[in-house]
Amino acid sequence: MTDVAVIMGSESDRAIANRTTSILDESKYTYDVQVISAHRNPDTLDEYIAGSSAKVFIAIAGLSAALPGVIASKTKKPVIGVPVSAKMMGLDALLSIAQMPPGVPVASVGIDNGANAAHLAIRILDLHERR
């Protein structure tokens, strides 16, 4: 059973994922890392989300940053978006993640801040565990 699913939209996001997993490594929580594009691999993404035992999803994406919103549209579990500074210094990705439609909530951390995404996931899991 996996506590956190870390999904990158592209292999080019690996450095940010590594910052995320380095924080998770210091915790008691397990994680799984995948590279699945919402645009290039939508069926693979659907299958992964449906089959995942993760309690929290961290989605790392730049440009249109559709990945966090797509994940949030397919699960009731918490989704944390990490905008990547691929273009426009990451502002495009940040705004995309922050502007989800009603009923599709995505938490967002700062641009390229995979570490804070991990810290937020740990806080969510700690609260879940206390129940």
Average pLDDT, the chain: 96
pTM of the complete model beyond 0.75: yes
Reference 32, options 59, 12, 10, 13; nearest CA is 59
pLDDT at 131 over 80: no
Q: What is the pLDDT of residues 83-127, one digit of tens each?
A: 999 889 999 999 999 999 999 999 999 999 999 999 999 999 999
The radius of gyration computed from the CA coordinates of the chain, to the nearest angstrom, equals 13
- What average pLDDT score do residues 65-78 get? 97
- Name the strand (E) or helix (H) holding 86: none
